[in-house]
Amino acid sequence: MASEHIWVLLQTKGKTFKVISDPEKGIIEVINEKGEILIRKANLSKRQVETVEKNFLHHIAKKMNGRDQGKTPTDPFDPMII
């Protein structure tokens, strides 16, 4: 899908979450390492999804090119730790 964006959130203790956002469908999903959906927000406006992407995901997450990226690369930088 052209409007789907996929992000990786690196958390403390090596955990990673995949975030899928789709402004056209108005959906944001947070998926854990086991593939379980932890959070799913639907029926959002295009502007709401774009605002989340701009203000949160662009500053915290790393963008991926597609759903089937396999294991996410490990990075010692953790944006959640100051």
Per-residue pLDDT reduced to its tens digit, 60-69: 776 666 544 4
Task: Please report whether residue 70 resides in a domain.
Answer: no
CA distance 65 to 18: 12
Task: Please report whether residue 57 resides in a domain.
Answer: yes
Q: What is the pLDDT of residue 63?
A: 67
Q: What is the pLDDT of residue 65?
A: 61
- pTM score: 0.67
Q: Which domain holds residue 41?
A: 5-64
**CB half-sphere exposure, 34, CA atoms < 13 A:** 3
Task: Please report whether residue 27 resides in a domain.
Answer: yes
Q: What is the pLDDT of residue 74?
A: 54
pLDDT over threshold 70, residue 54:
yes
Task: Please report whether residue 75 resides in a domain.
Answer: no
Task: Please report whether residue 74 resides in a domain.
Answer: no
Tally of domains in the chain: 1
Task: Please report whether residue 22 resides in a domain.
Answer: yes
